[in-house]
Structure 1
Amino acid sequence: MTTINPPSNSAIKLTSAIKAIAPEVDSTILDELCRLTRVHNLKWVSDKDGKNAYYVMSQLSLAKGLDKEDYINYWSPIQRPLVNQGSLESLPGKAFKLEKEKLANFKILYKEQNGVSLGGINSLWVGDFLHAYSYLVQGRSEAAKDFQSLGAKSIEVASSNDITHAIESDLQLKIMELAGYSNINLKFEVAVVDSFNTGSHRRWDFVERLPKVTKLYELKSRTLSEDNVRSTLFTKKYIELASERFPGKAIEFIFTSPKGISWEAKNLIQEVNEKASTLYPGVKVKVSFIDTQEITERLISNILNDSPIESHFWFKRKLETEGFNCVVSSRTVEKLNSTIVDAYQTGRLIRKPKTDNVIQFPILKSAKVA
């Protein structure tokens, strides 16, 4: 098995420290914080037990290209209530102002773990990993753009987009239901014998078999992480199993999530594609990522194109009231609503006057009890 760009020792240490205190941490936060720490040479400190990751907030201000007092003046818990200008938001995570004995202890840990001294300071603001990350991705200045484009939507308090969180089985059921109304042939929970582990089986979330290519989909409910990609392709060997199950076919392996993809995962997928001929000799392979909303929009378009306009209002109400917001964006529903409005305006959904040629359906009355 070919290993591609294994995580650095520093990234492993940071990941371990954070997962020790927050084992269910969102993978996007973890992946991007590791990248930011590496690229900008940010220093952090874990506690005596090797847990958590605390950053000096003034150092993060400088890394963003701002004045070192930016965090203290505009984002710290003490100063923020005094600020009346701008559209500042609260930051998740925890922040601490260290003084006296607590500061002295932090200085010792900082020098032990980073090999440099913080110097003679009387107080210091530090933030845990989540507070540090959320501060890095905030801000409207040009200097902060690098941090703004890193998937900040996944931060706990910033997860207010119109796609609600759900577990993978719920997402799959909703996609299955939409596929059932469409003419698109998706097969769900396709099993295959795991030839690498005797007696074991693997399952692809859903498969689409086309004349020239077989598409296999791996559905994740959270942001697709580098670990997800590495586990699926290299540990579970899903592509090798697909080439055995569908010999002679080109394979497109598609990762999908309603919560997007981390930078690290995107980079790993690109590297896999660049080395596909070496990793999977004799098989035409492409690995990609698409938003789950893109899949459901394709299904919805197929359904609507094959349905009379009179059914669109019913379908819109179904999408709005039956839990499809975990996989269908509000924009998709709005587009459907606009077609309904247009249909009313052009008269296609206006009831025509009765004529002698119109057959009236009888009104069913309840039977009388003798």
Structure 2
Amino acid sequence: MTLINSPLNSATKLKSAIEAISPEVDSSILDELCEWTRTKNLKWVSDINGKNAYYVMSDLSIAKNLNASDYRDNWVEVTTSGKNVSSERLAGKGLKLEGDKLANFKKLYEQQNGISLGRINSLWVGNFLHAYSYLVQGSSQVAKGFQELGAKAIEVASTNEIQHTVEPELQKQLIELVAYSNVGFKFEVAILDSFNPGSHRRWDFVERLPRVIKIYELKARTLSEQDVKATLVDKKYVELALEKYPNKSIEFIFTSPKGINWEAKSYIEEVNENAKKLYPNAKVKVSFIDLQSITERVVNNIIDNSPIESHFFFMKKLREEFTASVGQRTITKLNDSIAEAYKTGRLIKKAKTNNVVPILKLKSAQAA
């Protein structure tokens, strides 16, 4: 019997299993998870159709040099009904298996890995994205090693710990921030995929201007050449944009809070140099803009269209809720603006009400 997780075919099988259930999975997540699975000898299980990849969460805890119970102790929450559920702080899906579901999983695990899980009453497992998200959490030295490898994870300093987010969480912050403004971004724009009849694609967000349509592709990690090629060549997003918006100029904008590597930058330059050949009879430009530049524009729009009295409370919200999407420079500029407004009298600090009657005066009044 050939084991599905044997060293010779693990990476290939793992990629195939994940892509079968999630064809648009981010390539860097896939590559990094495959590398971790190989170097840490992590075991995983696909379903009976060979799709998806589920990991035993206690195995991942051990791989991070933590107690086997770390996931259960720190990433499982108890609902008001008393049911244990996987924390929403992790991406993907975590499941507690019991009864028949556990029996079926144990059978698949032994078939695919050649190892028995033994006699257990329950087991926490996570799909590939949940496993990835858990691996890049924490402050242990091994966890930090996963973080360094995990380019997808966004590092945000908070109370001397490293927190991480992925694209859905990053986009959620951006959607909420834009909702306070007059900036005309439209999120999750669905389009028919003419290259794959019966299917569709989604652009992260679109901005329709009089002279140009700007389409944004959001990445949570450093933009790579592979990301650009997957979007422009494999998914053909520019061609789909030209179909969706005929006779319009198209600017396709990649954005990330973690910048762009030189290979991706060079490839984008090549695309622009050959744009007339690649996209005949159309005006197309491909570019990259730091996410912090986009959010600074949104923040400035909010400030320009709101009373100065609200700026202090807005700054507090930025610091607490938009740490992954808004740059510190933007927050510092707003803080300086508020400080200057206090100095010039545009903002006035509210006087504290003092209802305390001095004891000496009170005694004097009583004596009189």
1:9-48 correspondence to structure 2 within 5 Å = none
Q: Distance in 1 between matches of 2:208 and 2:221?
A: 26
Report Cα offsets for 1:311-340 as digits up to 9, x if no partner: 000101111122x11111112111111111
Q: Unpaired runs of 5+ in structure 2?
A: 1-10, 16-24, 32-37, 40-146, 352-368
Structure 2 Cα separation of the partners of residues 249 and 261 of structure 1: 27
Give the Å deviation of 1:165: 3.6
Pick from 327, 337, 351: which aligns with 1:329? 327
| TM-score between both structures, scaled by the size of structure 2 | 0.53
Contact 2:156 2:323 in 1 (8 A): no
User: What code does the residue aligned with 1:213 have?
Assistant: V
Q: Classify the secondary structure of the residue corresponding to 2:266.
A: helix
Partner of 1:193: 192
Corresponding residue of 2:169: 170
Show the counterpart of 2:313: 314
Aligned mate of 2:337, from 329, 336, 339 = 339
Structure 2 distance, partners of 1:318, 1:206, is: 23
Counterpart for residue 267 of structure 2? 268
Match of 1:237 in 2: 236
Query: 1:47 corresponds to which residue?
Result: none
Structure 2 CA distance for partners of 1:321 and 1:25, relative to 1, 3 Å = same
Separation in 1, partners of 2:148, 2:211? 36
* Structure 2 counterpart of 1:283, one-letter code: A
For structure 1, the residue ranges without an aligned partner over 5 or more in a row are 1-18, 31-50, 53-152, 354-370
Label 1:259 to 1:217 Cα distance change in 2 as closer, same or farther (>3 A): same
Partners of 2:202 and 2:301 in 1: how far apart? 26
1:249 match: 248
CA distance in 2: counterparts of 1:161 and 1:308, whole angstroms? 30
Which secondary structure state, in structure 2, belongs to the residue aligned with residue 326 of structure 1?
Answer: coil
CA contact (8 A) 1:164 1:325 kept: no
Residue identity opposite 1:330 in structure 2 = Q
Matched, 1:296 2:325: no
In structure 1, distance between residues paired with 2:174 and 2:191: 21
2:272 is paired with a residue of what secondary structure? helix
Give the Cα–Cα distance (whole angstroms) in 2 for the partners of residues 208 and 26 of structure 1: 26
Match of 1:348 in 2: 346
Deviations 1:33-92 (Å, cap 9, x if unpaired)? xxxxxxxxxxxxxxxxxx88xxxxxxxxxxxxxxxxxxxxxxxxxxxxxxxxxxxxxxxx
In structure 1, give the amino acid aligned to 2:192: V
What do the CA deviations read for 1:162-216 (whole angstroms, capped 9, x no partner)?
Answer: 6964111111111111111111100000000000001010000000000000000
User: Matches of 1:241 and 1:254 in 2, distance apart?
Assistant: 15
Call closer, same or farther: CA 1:272–1:340 in 2, change over 3 Å: same
Aligned residues: 215
Measured in 2, the distance between the counterparts of 1:302 and 1:329 equals: 16
Q: Is the 8 A contact 1:183 1:302 kept in 2?
A: yes
In the other structure, the counterpart of 1:228 is 227
1:275–1:25 distance in 2 versus 1, CA, 3 Å: closer
Aligned to 2:218: 219
Question: Which residue in 1 is equivalent to 2:283?
Answer: 284
State the distance in 2 between where 1:165 and 1:225 align.
19
Pairwise CA distance, 1:161? 6.7
Q: Residue type matched to 1:274 in 2?
A: E
How far apart are the structure 1 equivalents of 2:167 and 2:301?
A: 23
Counterpart residue identity of residue 330, structure 2: T
How large is the Cα RMSD of the aligned pairs? 3.3
Q: Counterpart of 2:315 in structure 1: which amino acid?
A: K
Deviations 1:83-120 (A, max 9, x none): xxxxxxxxxxxxxxxxxxxxxxxxxxxxxxxxxxxxxx
What displacement does 1:26 show? 10
Q: 2:205 — aligned with what?
A: 206
SS at match of 2:323: helix
Deviations 1:253-293 (A, max 9, x none): 00001111111111110100000000001110000011111
Amino acid at match of 2:339: V
The share of aligned pairs that are identical, in percent, is 58
Q: Deviations over 1:120-166 (max 9, x none)?
A: xxxxxxxxxxxxxxxxxxxxxxxxxxxxxxxxx97779x86769641
Q: 1:293 to 1:273 in 2, by over 3 A?
A: same
In the TM superposition, what are the counterparts of 1:123-202 in structure 2 within 5 Å?
165-202=164-201
Ranges of 4+ aligned residues in structure 1 off by more than 2 Å: 23-27, 153-157, 159-165
Cα distance in 1 for residues equivalent to 2:156 and 2:179: 27
Go from structure 1 to structure 2 and tell me whether the alpha carbon gap of 1:257 and 1:352 turns closer, same or farther (over 3 Å shift): closer
